[in-house]
Amino acid sequence: MALFMKSKIYLLALLFSLVTLPLYAVESLTWQQCVGETRKAHPDLASALALLQQAEADKRIIGGGALPKLSLGLSSQERGVANAGTSSLFAYSLSAQQLLYDGSKISSQVASTREAFKAAQNNYSAVSANVRFALKSAFTALLKAQNLVGLTGEIAERRQKNVRLITLRYQGGRENIGSLRQAEADLSQATFEVAQAERGLELARTALASALGRDLHYPITAKGAFTSSILIAQKPDLAPLAKNHPLYQQLDAGSRAAQYDLDAARNAFSPQLYLTSSVGRSTPDHWAFNGVDWSAGVTLSLPMYEGGIGGGRVAKAKAVAQQRNAQLKSGYLQILDVLEQSWKDFQDARQMVVVRKKFLDAAVERATIATAQYSNGLISFNDWVVIEDKLVSTKKEYLNAGAGMLIAEAQWIQSKGGGLDGQEE
């Protein structure tokens, strides 16, 4: 009886703490609200965006090599000659240079940077897909933790009623002390699971706050249900999905960029032809503008020998192109395998929810009948407690199945490259 009273007091204290929780300001977030906040605040997306901006800047830098170059020069010098005093020399010039031909080296480099920019764009999409999966996992974990708190409280209340029933039967001489101790132990386990679920709830809240990209963690709740947003049941054609995946597109852009780099390395042996012109003057007069010198012409530069550096660059660029091609093929196969696995897991998880719901309905019916039979002495304690334990485990399995389905759905969306801006289909 002492254990019974102690467990009762502990349970009441936990229930009281649950009642007082709404007194604190708890923010309730839907899935769409989480997506909107994460899209704006997550550091991984900010990092991927910075890489995209770097790639865009590289594209402008390389592209500038094909544009005219202008330079302005001004100088003033004071010279001293022994026994002759000093003299001043002023000079100014404006020079222009335009590349006419370089064997398509610059154009190949520009094409390479364009592909690198596309790769950065697809890298951003891939990061978005990973962030979405992490966010959905954290959202689901919080949703599960909230339901688990309610479920463990419900189980603890049921265990409490069972202890009362067995105590009355024991006091009436219709049950033995072993059965009472077993019921008290089940109640102790249930009260522990209530406290454990509360701790898990706090952890899940922290994890979701981090997945949102929040620096400060305030109490939050997830608002939603364990239902799938994807209605299709027929297996889609996976090959096009694999080739549309951001990772494949990123590898494909990297492969094309490597080929352009190889072309640029080969074209480095080509002559370079520039159109040049300049105007200016060097005079002892202070910045006289009454006459200027000018020049115009072409400059031809032809690399003759660099000690094998050019050949080494071509060999390296060729090896990089071969590596990128192999990575592209390997990446495609890996993405295809992940799509196959995630589709299977998603379908298994969806069907498992249906199966677990049937088991739950059956367990509820059996427990209702068994409790009435035990109260009337029609079945033994051992038979009754097995049915009670089955009800408890079945409720937990149904909750796990619902959460598992949401995670499997999130993995399927991630395997397709679906990010925070995509549709959940």
Instruction: Summarize pLDDT for 198-257 with one digit per residue, the tens.
Output: 999 999 999 999 999 998 888 899 999 998 888 777 889 999 999 999 999 999 999 999
Reply yes or no on whether the pLDDT at 133 is more than 80: yes
When pLDDT is cut at 50, 70 and 90, the band that residue 308 belongs to is confident
Split at pLDDT 50, 70, 90, the class of 287 is low
User: Is the separation of the CB atoms in 417 and 240 below 8 Å?
Assistant: no
Number of helices and strands in the chain (H, E): 9, 6
CA 38, CA 49: separation in Å to the nearest integer?
14
CA dist., res. 399 & res. 147, Å (int): 8
Distances (CA, A) of 326 to 109, 140, 239, 332, 388: 22, 37, 18, 10, 58
Give the pLDDT score at 1.
45
Give the mean pLDDT of 286-306: 71
Tell me how far CA of residue 349 lies from CA of 191, 358, 359, in angstroms.
30, 15, 15
Please report the DSSP string for 301-326 in residue order. E-----TTHHHHHHHHHHHHHHHHHH
Backbone φ and ψ for 235, nearest 5 degrees, come out as: -65, 125
Neighbouring C-beta atoms of residue 12, cutoff 10 Å: 11
pLDDT tens digits, 42-61: 999 999 999 999 999 988 88
Which whole number is the average pLDDT over 98-120?
Answer: 84
pLDDT above 50 for 22: no
Percent of the chain with pLDDT over 70: 88
pLDDT score for 80: 64
Q: What is the largest CA-CA distance in the chain?
A: 134
d(CA 215, CA 217) in angstroms, rounded, equals 7
Residue, of 390 and 18, whose pLDDT is higher: 390
Reported as a single tens digit per residue, the pLDDT across 350-385 is 999 999 999 999 999 999 999 999 888 899 989 999
pLDDT at 422: 67
Question: Which residues neighbour 229 within 8 Å (Cβ) at sequence distance 6 or greater?
Answer: 409, 424, 425
Confidence bin at 5 (pLDDT 50/70/90): very low
Question: What ranges make up the beta strands (E) of 154-224?
Answer: 220-223
Mean of pLDDT values over 153-157: 94
> What are phi and psi for residue 28, nearest 5 degrees?
-105, 125
Section 166-193 average pLDDT: 92
- Crossing angle of helices 177-212 and 381-415, in 10° steps, is 10
Q: CA of 130: how far to CAs of 141, 163, 414, 416, in Å? A: 16, 48, 7, 11
Q: Report pLDDT for 58.
A: 87
Q: What is the pLDDT averaged over residues 126-148?
A: 96
- The CA–CA distances, whole Å, from 11 to 167, 193, 228 equal 18, 11, 35
Scan for tokens 């995509």, then name that residue.
Answer: 422
pLDDT average, residue stretch 147-175: 93
Q: Which domains does the chain have, with CATH numbers?
A: 2-415 (1.20.1600.10)
Q: Of 35, 205, 136, 221, give the one whose Cα is nearest residue 408.
A: 136
Compute the average pLDDT of residues 143-172. 93
Q: What is the pLDDT of residues 384-416, one digit of tens each?
A: 999 999 999 999 999 999 999 999 999 999 999
Does position 423 have pLDDT exceeding 60, yes or no? no
The whole-chain average pLDDT of the chain stands at 86
- Bigger pLDDT: 298 or 425? 298
Q: Which residue has the tokens 């240079």?
A: 97
